[in-house]
Every structure is written in structure tokens, then in C-alpha cells.
Amino acid sequence: MSAQGHLRFLADMNLSPQTVADLQAAGWDILRVNQVLSATTSDRDILTYARQNNQVIITQDLDFSTLLALAGFSSPSLVTLRLSVTDPETVTRRLLQILPQSEAALFDGAAVTVTDNSLRVRSLPMR
């Protein structure tokens, strides 16, 4: 992990429990929403929970970036996956590729959009 601090992640329900387990096995501090909240918790409440607990949200749901932008928040950081293939192995492999290189930005407050072969980082708050 980085020298800047310790990132903690909260995986949205659309991430497989297998991906979460694989990331944990690789040393990342990550929980899935249903481990700390109801599986039916609204995106707005998940965002609030992540802000209060200093966690980075990982999701495949575009609603989070909209909520973050509309609120003008500088946290929580957000990783939005926009992959063409979303099986657990592919998602895990892509996250393991991008998390180390995104760590500093996520620590500082960023919305990271991940596609099959690109990474876009926007500082928070989004304008």
C-alpha cells in the first residue's frame, strides 16, 4: 500500500463477492455493501456511509458519479467500472491493474472511470 495512507474500499452490490474476496486475498481493505448495510440500501445512503467511513466506492453503477457531482462533494472517492465483460475474473484482473496506479488520486479525492483499456481520473469535487 502507499506511504500516503491506507485506502479502504466499499464494493457496491453489483460487484461479485468473488471479486471482493480476491481483492482481500491480494491485500486490499475492501468490504461489500451487504456486509455493512442492507443489500437494498439506496445509492445516496451508500454514498453517505462511504463518506462517513472514509471508504472509496467501487461500482458499475453510473448513478454514483452523478450523485457525487450534484452534491459537490470532495469525498468519497469513486471507482466506476465500465467494462465490456463483467465476469468476476475480468473485473478482478482489471481492478488489480488499476488500483495501484490510482491509489494516490483516490487518496486525494478522485472519480476514476475504468474501461477495458483506459483510465480517466477526475479530481473531486467535480465541476
- Range 8-123 classified under CATH 3.30.420: no
pLDDT at 5: 63
Query: What are the strands of the beta sheet with 29-32, ordered from one edge?
Result: 29-32, 8-11, 56-59, 78-81, 110-114, 119-123
pLDDT at 126: 86
pLDDT at 2: 39
Residue 55 dihedral angles phi and psi, to the nearest 5°: -115, 150
pLDDT at 127: 73
Give residue limits of the domains in the chain.
8-123
Q: Rounded to whole angstroms, what are the CA distances from 8 to 29, 55, 58, 73, 78?
A: 5, 5, 10, 18, 11
Q: Which of 25, 10, 23, 24 is nearest to 77 (CA)?
A: 10
pLDDT at 111: 97
Pairing of strands 78-81, 56-59: parallel
62: which 3 cell numbers? 453510473
Look up the pTM and report it.
Answer: 0.94
Q: What is the DSSP string of 64-99?
A: HHHHHHHHT---S-EEEE--S---HHHHHHHHHHHH
Sites in the chain below the pLDDT cut of 70? 1-5
